[in-house]
Amino acid sequence: METNDVLIVAIGTALFAVAFVVLLALRSSLERSGHGRWPWIALSGALLGLVGLVYCRRRQQRMSKANAQ
């Protein structure tokens, strides 16, 4: 089964980035309720998603080269 891994990882990364912005706007209320780490968790998800994008793109390029030969 062939999937577009780059698109899937890009969507997940974008969702984490949006969550970071929203949670950053709500930071004071999150800290009052004891959830002050949530924005940083979302930021970590976005950054790891960027690493995943690089990995998936390189993998896709290597697979394309292998299939062309």
pLDDT digits (tens, 9 = 90+) for 16-65: 999 999 999 999 999 999 999 999 999 999 999 999 999 999 999 999 99
Residue ranges making up the domain that contains 44: 5-68
Provide the pLDDT for residue 17.
Answer: 98
Total domain count, the chain: 1
- 57 Cβ contact list (under 8 Å, min separation 6): 6
Provide the pLDDT for residue 69.
Answer: 82
| b/e burial code for range 53-62 (CB count within 10 A of at least 16 → b) | beebeeeeee
Provide the pLDDT for residue 24.
Answer: 97
pTM attached to this predicted model: 0.87
